[in-house]
Chain A
Amino acid sequence: MTSLTLPPDRQRFRLRVRGQLPPDWGDWFDGFSLAYTPDGATLLTSPPIDQAALHGALATIRDLGLYLEAVIPVTPDSPGSYPAKR
């Protein structure tokens, strides 16, 4: 599961939230990249972060009233992110 190239306490995560966030909303999530799925959700992909930063991102999702659909760790063999819509 974990990437061999990263320190064990740091990990990339992908967060799937319902609805399409405006592209400039990426700055709520420091360093995350933002992409859209064909079925109308937004994928937020983190840089390598520790657990505290992950919890911070989850709190931001909560505080913006976003609907969190999934959190998955990103491993080297994960499929690439969907292309941005715009």
Chain B
Amino acid sequence: MYERIRAPAAALDTILQAKLHIPTIPTGYVARPRLLAQLDGAHQARLSLITAPAGSGKTTLASSWARAQADTVAWLELDPADNDPVRFWSYLLHALHGPEPAGVAPLLSALRAPQPPPLEATLAALLNVLAARPAPLAIVLDDYHVIEAPAIHRVITWLIDRLPPQAHLLIVSRADPPLPLGRWRARGQLCELRVHDLRFTHEEAAAFLIGTMGLPLGMDAVAALDARVEGWAAGLQLAALAIRGSADPAARIAAFSGRHEYVLAYLVDDVLAGQLAYVQEFLLRTAILDRLSAPLCDAVLGVGNGDAAIPTSRFILDYLRESNLFLVPLDDEGGWFRYHHLFRDVLRHRLRQTDPPCVPELHRRAAGWYAAQGLLDAAIPHALAAGDHLGAVRWIEQAVDEALHGGNIAPLRGWLAALPAALVGARPRLAVGQLWLRFILGQNELIPSGIDALAESLAAEPDGDAVRSVEEQSWLRAELAALRAQRALHLGDLSETLAQCRAGLAVAPAGALRTRGALELLQGTAVRNAGDLAAAATHFHTARDLAEQGGGELLLLYVSNNLADLAELRGQLSVMATEHARMRRLSVDASGQPLPLAGMALIGMGKVARERNDLEAAAALLAEGIDLGRRSAISGIVIDGLLVLALVRVAQGNVAGARAHLDEATTLAERWHPATIGVRVAAFRARLALAAGRLKEAARWAVGASARVAAPSSELGEIEQLTLARVWLAQGRAAEALGLLARLAQAARRSARHGRLAEILALHALAQQAVGDGTSAAETLAEALALGQPEGYVRIFADEGVAMGRLVLCVAAQVSSGQARGLRADYLAVVQEACAEPHGLGTPRSSHDQLVEPLSAREQEVLALIAAGCSNQEIADRLIISVATVRKHVENIHGKLGVQSRTQAAARARELGLA
């Protein structure tokens, strides 16, 4: 989520890739088969843990193991900045993207979206992806000791407890992590390699000192040195570097072994002293860097001005690598390196001791180099380390507007957190970015005070560096108004929203296209919520013009989203289809992955196809949209799609399929959403019960629902109220339904919501028919049909089944006798035919309780035999019919029961009491 702010993607990917790169195994590395065998044998365990002090060879061991595992390892090297949970999990997903691209890409894309799903949902989806893998997968977390955030430890524990058997976690750390290790140890789920395992045996030390480092040592000297450093890998390496080139290495070892000094300090000093002056200086100065490349080192050292006497950084890096001087490659191309952390820390300490004043300057140079590459994420920490807050601030300010433009606002989070709060408060551009970020993250409690502070700082005289042009000042005032409008909209205060939008638009500079577009969008939303749909459309179109002139892709996407929703309300199916299609095209991130909004768009397109009775197309679009929502772990989209798909399934005669969809929607709603979503799902369940002839179940739901309708401040949505009307009609309570529907019709007519109005009127006509008022019924239905005809609405009517079909016939008769409303005979014929199809939603029909279509007597016989475990041949023999006929019967039974297999058919037969 840190990519693509201002930088060429390839350059930024370097930093990300470095964290995900399985470290290259050093040349002359000493193979340690005894340790590798332990790791290989740990597959049954959930967690392998390598804990030992710095410099024990943990990472080398883990990487040599990982590199032998083909493409089944996700590697992540952690650093202290990864204590931000959002950053941590985003990086982990990036790491998993390597071995598992198809499953992880949508989760990553969803995390980058303006409204990311809850982390728990993403991780639950991740577990499903891992569980579906045929091949094993290991996740390696290197340097886990830098993680201190309890939130991360908690979720890691949760994850380890749920890992599917083919997944395995390997944690590399200097200290035991605060995880329930005892529990896993007791269950045999933990494989541990600790300091005594990692110590170099004398044989391993000999292989390294004599084989790799080429020292002419006897076994006695090797053993003495190994004992002195206690098998510590870094100690052996430092000692080898220190004594290499010495005339009598054995004598040096003997002298060294007799001393009391702390070996690290002593040895690093010794190694440094053995290097040429320019190498010493290179090591000390570049130690401020977490990652090194030759051009970056040149910049930090201030070389590259044609001074031929000083070797280039490229040359020195090659030398360090060849000399085994603790340089770790971060890629396979030799572009990026880091120092071994322990070595780096000692070098940094030496630099502070010997030349403290130069440290800020070195950081400033590193920041400048990164910034010139467009790598602000790396530049800003160096600027902060240099004490150059203002430099950092200028870069972050630059990034704010672009982040708001492109929608990728997440990187601002870490940067703003690193700045002193007072500084953010004093810089209005930063405050604007922070406030929008808070809206996105849902930190609503921090917003009012932030808005007040921003207003105050805009009213005050800007100081020093922050002198603002008139245009800048106007833009900030417009942003302030937009923030206030957004806040008022959240609170449901429409008049305040509108007032702020007007104020903002009055001051916004002409060139502030995104800000003006956002204000128009907010104004349109408020006007829509107030019920004026036509005026809302005008504002949205103005916002679109501004977006197209350069207001940004994100704005364009939001405009389409809003226009599509508006079209749905107004009953404009063709506009709805166009806007959703546009939204789908725009919902692609920089890497070409569909964003979660694409799932919403597909579901919108599916809704249109369903309304027009193109059930197959609807099912395909909805399934694709649901799949996208599911893979992005955005359950709101999934639920929305499942509800519509359930209606499609019922219309196709597949009640069991519909029930499965609603079961999933119920589970998701209970798990991830507030009660209001569950209420909506329950209404769809009632509608399904009605369609399946389970009137009792529908009636039970209606008891609760009608109590809520009767409550003085009824919050029950229209969908629930329409379902209630349907239940009442089925119960023969048409008079009560009439009153409810008349009220709903009035409200929909007032706000020109023609799609909904047509649906209400269709039910109203049924109610009028039921109370014996056939004339009014035909009139009401004619109005509904007149609303539905221009956009091709069919399902609104067809869902009510044969009763509706008869009523449509009456209207058609009136039309042919000249009482038209501009209704066309061909449209009426299509609607009438759709109503006559066997599977409506409205008319309960069934003999066997839950079946849409009853089984014939013969089919019941066949089903009983299937349930008894008979083959087709056995059934044919038993009933004295041909096998082909049995097959036909079985096919029909499967269709009527909505099942795919004989086993499912048998189970359903038992459920229905047929077997």
Contact = CB atoms under 8 A, between A and B. Distances in A.
A8 B346 CA distance: 35
Nearest to A41: B260
A80 interface: no
B539 interface: no
A58 B346 CA distance: 17
Contacts of B261: 19-20, 22
B174 A62 contact: yes
A77 interface: no
B281 interface: no
Contacts of B266: 22
B54 A62 contact: yes
B342 interface: yes
Contacts of B469: none
A27 B353 CA distance: 9
Contacts of A1: none
B53 interface: yes
A82 interface: no
A33 to B, nearest CB: 17
Nearest to A37: B260
Interface in A12-39: 17-22, 24-25, 27-28
Contact of A64 (B145, B175, B264, B353): B264
B263 A25 contact: no
A21 B262 contact: yes
B349 A28 contact: yes
A65 B260 contact: no
Given A19-B260, A27-B352, A28-B349, A65 B54 contact: yes
Contacts of B262: 17-22, 25, 42, 66
Contacts of A27: 349, 352-353
Nearest to B230: A67
Contact of B175 (A17, A22, A62): A62
A9 B463 CA distance: 41
B352 A21 contact: no
B566 to A, nearest CB: 55
Contacts of A62: 53-54, 145, 174-175
Contacts of A17: 262
A22 B608 CA distance: 77
Contact of B174 (A24, A28, A63): A63
- Which of A24, A27, A65 lies at the interface centre, i.e. has the most chain B CB atoms within 10 A of its CB? A65
Contacts of B54: 62-65
Interface string B262-303: 111110010000000000000000000000000000000000
A76 interface: no
Interface string B232-269: 10100000000000000000000000001111111001
Contacts of B352: 27
B349 A65 contact: no
Interface in B45-85: 53-56
B345 A64 contact: yes
Contacts of B341: 63
Given A28-B349, A62-B145, A65-B234, A19 B53 contact: no
B488 to A, nearest CB: 42
B232 A22 contact: no
Contact of A65 (B145, B232, B353): B232
B353 A24 contact: yes
B455 to A, nearest CB: 37
A17 B232 CA distance: 16
Main secondary structure on B side of the interface with A = helix
B78 to A, nearest CB: 14
Contacts of B232: 65
A40 interface: yes
B230 to A, nearest CB: 8
Contacts, number: 52
A20 B264 CA distance: 10
A19 B229 CA distance: 11
B175 A65 contact: no
A40 B342 contact: no
Contact of A40 (B260, B264, B349): B260
Contacts of B269: 22
Contacts of B349: 25, 27-28
Contacts of B345: 63-64
B76 to A, nearest CB: 20
Given A27-B352, A65-B55, A65-B232, A19 B174 contact: no
A2 to B, nearest CB: 27
A24 B260 CA distance: 16
Nearest to A17: B262
Nearest to B265: A22
Contacts of B56: 65
A65 B265 contact: no
A25 B265 contact: yes
B260 to A, nearest CB: 4
Contacts of A67: 53
B342 A64 contact: yes
Contacts of A18: 262
A38 to B, nearest CB: 10
Contacts of B53: 62, 65, 67
Contacts of B145: 62
A76 to B, nearest CB: 30
A19 B264 CA distance: 10
- Which of A25, A28, A40, A64 lies at the interface centre, i.e. has the most chain B CB atoms within 10 A of its CB? A64
Interface string B131-159: 00000000000000100000000000000
B787 to A, nearest CB: 69
B175 A19 contact: no
A63 B234 CA distance: 13
Contacts of A25: 262, 265, 349
Given A63-B345, A64-B54, A19 B263 contact: yes
Contacts of A40: 260
A27 B352 CA distance: 10
A22 B270 CA distance: 13
A21 B232 CA distance: 17
Contacts of B265: 21-22, 25
Interface string B339-360: 0011001100100110000000
A25 B232 CA distance: 21
A71 to B, nearest CB: 15
A27 B265 CA distance: 14
A19 B232 CA distance: 14
A25 B261 CA distance: 12
Contacts of A64: 54, 264, 342, 345-346
Contacts of A42: 262
A28 B353 CA distance: 11
A19 B352 CA distance: 23
Contacts of B263: 19
A67 B229 CA distance: 12
A28 B345 CA distance: 10
| In the complex, the 8 A-B pairs of residues with the closest C-beta atoms, listed nearest first | A19-B262, A40-B260, A65-B54, A65-B53, A22-B265, A20-B260, A21-B262, A20-B261
Given A19-B261, A22-B262, A65-B53, 5 more contacts: A17-B262, A19-B260, A42-B262, A62-B175, A64-B345
15 contacts: A19-B261, A19-B263, A20-B262, A21-B262, A22-B266, A22-B269, A25-B262, A27-B349, A28-B349, A63-B342, A64-B342, A65-B56, A65-B232, A65-B342, A66-B264
